[in-house]
Chains A and B, each alone.
Chain A
Amino acid sequence: MSFRIDTEVAVVGAGPAGLSAALAASAAGARVAVLDEYPEPGGQFYKQLPVEFQVPDRAALDEDYTKGDALLGAVRAAKVELSNETLVWGSLEPGVLSVVRSGVAGIVRARTIVVASGAYERAVAFPGWDLPGVMTPGGAQTLVKNQRLAPAGRIVLAGSGPFLLPVAKSLIAAGAKPAAIYEATRPREWLRHAPRLWGHWERIGEALQYRRLISNAGVPVTFGRIVVRAEGAESLERVVSMKCDGEGRPLPGTGQVERADTLCVGYGFVPSVQLTRLLGCDHRYEPRRGGWVPGYDEAMETSVAGIFVAGEVAGIGGAYAALAEGTLAGLSAARRIGYRVADADLSATRQKREARRRFGDLVNDIFALKPGFYDPIGDDTLVCRCEEVTAGQIREAATEWGADVNFVKGVTRCGMGYCQGRICGDMVEELTARAVGCDREAVGAFRVRSPLKPVQVSTLADLAGQ
């Protein structure tokens, strides 16, 4: 059993960028198919409720749900083919994607491809970060917003970045008020970026709203504090945190223990570039936008002709930038295959995109990753969760074999497990660069191979006749 989709524009990812790309390409006249791994479209930002859940009065939902409705409604009305539960795992020839949909293998042929694969949360290890009960802030957000389930017991929310705010809001609304919030940066460090905030009133208003909500709920927020250890026998019992200096380094003698059942901790996002790498696009290291990102021109086309990118995969910039960038990529992709797109539309979209990217960059600068965040990673600390490789093993391999993460991977097996280095990759690069004393560009990134995520061999066998 297998299936096949023939289309003009294939969009990978049904988040803000992917959906707006699909809508734009379709409005320009192109036939569009959107491929997304999740059961419901919307991505992480416009996360929808499971179709099996009933919503008697949609207007009673908070705006986080309803603001995705207009976009999704327009995409559906535009007769864009939405293919959910569809994992893109490979590409055996140009313009052809190998996919699996609900356990059935398939092939998608397209004249152009827009990769809008988004991002995932940056994990920075500390002893005990693999204990059940420790999860990403996005994980908690998904439980509350998609599953309508409040995480258990006493909750600590920690890490750094603006994303902690909506997560705190969701937890409070769900009656699961965090016992403590630790933000690693300090407001006084934000001040030097203040002049660049001018004009972004809507976003500032949003941030102030979150802030008021959190303080009204009586949740204590501590700035300049990071989690250095999680403790517990079979699952999380205690969170140990320390004050940190301006470089993010934990200050001795400032340790504090908080009883907790759930710890949500994350340090921003990493672009999900596995597919763009597999497709052969050139990538560059851009720490301000989350790490390795594909290069692209002003039409959002990558170094590979006919492959476009939009949204977080092109560099972390937030959902509003992703929406405009999706439109730009969608219009460009349609134009690339001969559909008429007015220059005025393109340049207006480009301007919008650039303004929003500027704000994204500002937020990225305010919450820039600090070198000290990696200090709690001792030699015994687990870094690769799948293959159970410690920081000590990675440091030793780097020192012995040289400044290349793929040597380190080969020697230690880090990044070779189920997640294929998504969780540890960024950390392994950082630890390798530090162990050898060179910059991140020099140590490179894990090579990707298809299948990009585990696929059943029996499923692949079904493709044999295609």
Chain B
Amino acid sequence: MSEIAGQEIDMDTKEPVVSGAAVTILVEGQPVEARRGQMLAATLIASGRFVMRRTRRSGSPRGLFCAMGICYDCVMTINGRAGIRACMTKVEDGMQVSYPVRFKAYPRKT
């Protein structure tokens, strides 16, 4: 069974863009590889993490929806600040990302 995750576009063939330098962020304490310049939401999708928060009332999973800072469905706790949009926040080395406290079960898609 192969893991389903976002694929970085193949760099060797025709890709004229070189992503930023490799950095490591911590998602719930787990190291995740990222690229400078990448939005946190893209890093998470690239690592198979589709679920970015759960709703207050029903606990439903939510992920990236508009990717342009409108819908606020990808808000996460970043470096201790709650309610920050993963689609509008560039990753930084050592960035600490966590899910809202109430829900801890955030599966990776396999």
A68 on the interface (CB 8 Å rule)?
no
Number of interface residues of A (CB under 8 A): 56
A454 touches B83 (CB 8 A): yes
B67 touches A138 (CB 8 A): yes
Chain B residues contacting A133 (CB-CB under 8 Å) are 50, 63
A149 touches B68 (CB 8 A): no
B18 touches A417 (CB 8 A): no
A385 vs B81: C-alpha distance when bound (angstroms): 22
A176 touches B16 (CB 8 A): no
A347 on the interface (CB 8 Å rule)?
no
- Known interface pairs A133-B63, A386-B72; A50-B38 also in contact (CB < 8 Å): yes
A130 on the interface (CB 8 Å rule)?
yes
A134 touches B6 (CB 8 A): no
Q: For the complex formed, measure the closest distance between the CB of A334 and the CB atoms of chain B, giving whole angstroms.
A: 30
A120 on the interface (CB 8 Å rule)?
yes
B72 touches A417 (CB 8 A): yes
A149 touches B67 (CB 8 A): no
A147 touches B55 (CB 8 A): no
A52 touches B61 (CB 8 A): no
B60 touches A143 (CB 8 A): no
B20 on the interface (CB 8 Å rule)?
yes
Chain A residues contacting B38 (CB-CB under 8 Å) are 50, 147, 149
Q: Of B19, B36, B81, which is in contact with the most chain A CB atoms at under 10 Å from its CB? A: B19
Chain A contact surface mostly: loop
B8 on the interface (CB 8 Å rule)?
yes
Q: Which of B8, B52, B58, B109 contacts A148 (CB 8 A)?
A: B8
B42 touches A147 (CB 8 A): yes
User: How does the 8 Å CB contact mask read for A103-147 relative to B, with 1 for contact and 0 for none?
Assistant: 000000000000000001100000000111111101110111011
A49 on the interface (CB 8 Å rule)?
yes
Chain B contact surface mostly: loop
A215 on the interface (CB 8 Å rule)?
no
A148 touches B19 (CB 8 A): yes
Chain B residues contacting A146 (CB-CB under 8 Å) are 39
Q: Which of B5, B16, B35 contacts A56 (CB 8 A)?
A: B16
Chain A residues contacting B12 (CB-CB under 8 Å) are none
Number of interface residues of B (CB under 8 A): 53
A133 vs B5: C-alpha distance when bound (angstroms): 11
A63 on the interface (CB 8 Å rule)?
no
A378 on the interface (CB 8 Å rule)?
no
B10 touches A175 (CB 8 A): yes
- Known interface pairs A132-B50, A234-B61, A422-B70; A147-B7 also in contact (CB < 8 Å): no
Closest to B55 in A: A388
Chain A residues contacting B18 (CB-CB under 8 Å) are 53-56
A428 vs B14: C-alpha distance when bound (angstroms): 45
A241 vs B83: C-alpha distance when bound (angstroms): 34
In chain A, positions 38-67 with a C-beta closer than 8 Å to chain B are 38-39, 44, 49-58, 60-61
A401 on the interface (CB 8 Å rule)?
no
5 contacts between A and B (CB under 8 A): A39-B90, A56-B16, A149-B6, A175-B10, A419-B72
Give the B-binding residues of A (Cβ under 8 A). Answer: 37-39, 44, 49-58, 60-61, 120-121, 130-136, 138-140, 142-144, 146-153, 174-176, 234-235, 261, 385-386, 388, 417-419, 422-423, 453-454, 456
Beyond known contacts A135-B65, A235-B50: 17 more, CB 8 A cutoff:
A53-B17, A55-B17, A60-B16, A130-B65, A131-B63, A139-B65, A143-B6, A148-B8, A149-B7, A149-B38, A151-B6, A176-B7, A234-B61, A388-B60, A419-B71, A423-B65, A423-B66
Closest 8 CB pairs of A and B: A52-B37, A132-B63, A50-B37, A139-B67, A418-B72, A52-B20, A60-B16, A132-B50
